[in-house]
Copies of this chain bind each other. A is one copy, B any other.
Amino acid sequence: MITCGRYIRSILYLLLLISVQFGPHAVEGVWPLPQAFTSSPERYPVNSQDFYFVYGRQSAAQQGCSVLDTAFKRYFSLIFPDHNSGSPADRLSWTIYLVPFCVPDNLSISAGKASLNAETVWGAVRGLETFSQLVYQDDFGSYFVNKTEIDDFPRFQFRGILLDTSRHFLPVQAILKTLDAMAYSKFNVFHWHIVDDPSFPYQSSTFPDLSSKGAFHPMTHIYTQSDVRRVISYARLWGIRVLPEFDSPGHTTSWGKGQPGLLTPCYKGGTPSGTFGPVNPALPSTYRFMARLFKEVSSVFPDSYVHLGGDEVDFHCWRSNPDVRVFMQKMGFGGDFTKLESQAFVLQRTSLSVVEVWRAGCYLCEVRRVVKAGLRVILASPWYLDQPGPTHNWARYYTVWPLAFKGSEEQKKLVIGGEVCMWGEYVDATNLTPRLWPRASAVAERLWSDEKQTSSVDKAFPRLQDFRCKLLRRGIQAEPLYVGHCKHEYQVDYKHTDLF
């Protein structure tokens, strides 16, 4: 599913000047849990002055691979947040090593060296995340890493988070920060629900009026082409795809402001009521507009998928409109507006190859129905995190078993992953982060790790608590799971104090 970046086998070394110690076994673990993990009380001091990432000599990836070059810098800073003698860029050096690769990806830390073998650069980025979580500080500030052996791979290939930037505008900084946190939990898809009824913040180069008239504000509440490029390239460096969603033909109220004639005029008692419904399927201009818009979207967003939404279309307005009724007859749809919806819009644009299950209730019934039809599935229903709830309900999101339906092995393989949905009715940059994290991390482990090893909430709890403290240490405003503390609490940004 990773459509950008190079598929190359990469081997990295993490050079440590090693001296073996046997100290207290302070490894709290890795989140999400690797597929195979063994560690020992044997531990090695790690000193930022003597720490280097180097490319293996036989590695297909070498210096100049932007994804890994930047990942080295980033993880150096994450591992040594208080390192300040010279910039990490100045300090890192790369050496070429000859090492055979292996599958699954492997991280090995032992006396003398640490090595990371990965089939792709994205696997290497995930491995660096794992390594960064293994390094810890003792009470005197010294860093250590324990002798460790890890084989790892994700259970599901699609591990997404949906952000809704229409109901509330999210500044680009808030999106970038979310991408950071996603990488820490090994999410790999940012599903960008970019426009919807309330606002159209995407600044289209083909139809600039869509945002200048449809955004909350034409200058301050939009995503320029440059903003979008920045988000995509930033996400790519973390190994995260950006899957854009331009929901239609419903959820398009904001589209109508900058594109007169696009929406269906609703009728009441034989005359237009002044209100508008979904996109107007009776006009050829609609299809021309859609084709041009989606052509632009496909070129701006390099991902091979564009999410088409297609949910919650209200048929009342279509039904009230005489032109739409005539069109229905012409097309031979009779009175079946679902035919109009799917044939006129969804199937015209793409073959429906992946179905996202959003329905509440028995979502596994729905999953089963879809895979029986031979379609691939992304599960979202149990992971709507926009609704606030006590943080301790993380366990509710953790104890979801996506394959617990009756079906063949082949059918189960059609479940390609899941995603956390953070709808925007009650969420903006003020509360996005604590509402997402660490609850979304619970979903991340479900999508990454082996189900048998991660079925116990009680076993997961201390590891998730520890991971949440790591998120705080990295500046992610992740809320607490229960009573307790972190060594490094979240630092509140505060400016007014100096007046006193």
Contact = CB atoms under 8 A, between A and B. Distances in A.
Interface in A136-181: 167-169, 171, 173-174, 176-177, 180
Contacts of A500: 70, 233-234, 237
A390 B169 CA distance: 19
A495 interface: yes
Interface stretch (A33-41, A323-331, A420-428): A420-428
A173 to B, nearest CB: 4
Contacts of A426: 390-392, 479-482
A29 to B, nearest CB: 21
Interface stretch (A14-22, A203-211, A404-412, A470-478): A470-478
B171 A489 contact: yes
Contact of A480 (B168, B221, B481, B495): B168
Copies in the complex: 2
A492 B173 contact: yes
A490 B428 contact: yes
A169 B499 contact: no
Contact of A430 (B180, B390, B480): B480
A102 interface: no
A344 B390 CA distance: 37
A74 interface: yes
Given A198-B483, A387-B390, A434-B430, A77 B499 contact: yes
A492 B391 CA distance: 22
B73 A499 contact: yes
B497 A431 contact: no
A491 interface: yes
A387 B389 CA distance: 8
A253 to B, nearest CB: 11
Contacts of A349: none
A374 interface: no
Contacts of A425: 482-483
Interface of A: 70, 73-74, 77, 167-169, 171, 173-174, 176-177, 180, 198-199, 216-217, 220-221, 233-234, 237, 387-392, 424-431, 433-434, 472, 475, 477-485, 487, 489-497, 499-500
6 contacts: A174-B492, A217-B487, A220-B487, A388-B388, A429-B490, A430-B472
4 residue pairs, one from A and one from B, having the closest CB atoms: A216-B485, A431-B434, A388-B388, A431-B479
Given A168-B484, A391-B426, 8 more contacts: A74-B496, A171-B489, A234-B497, A234-B500, A430-B480, A431-B431, A431-B434, A493-B493
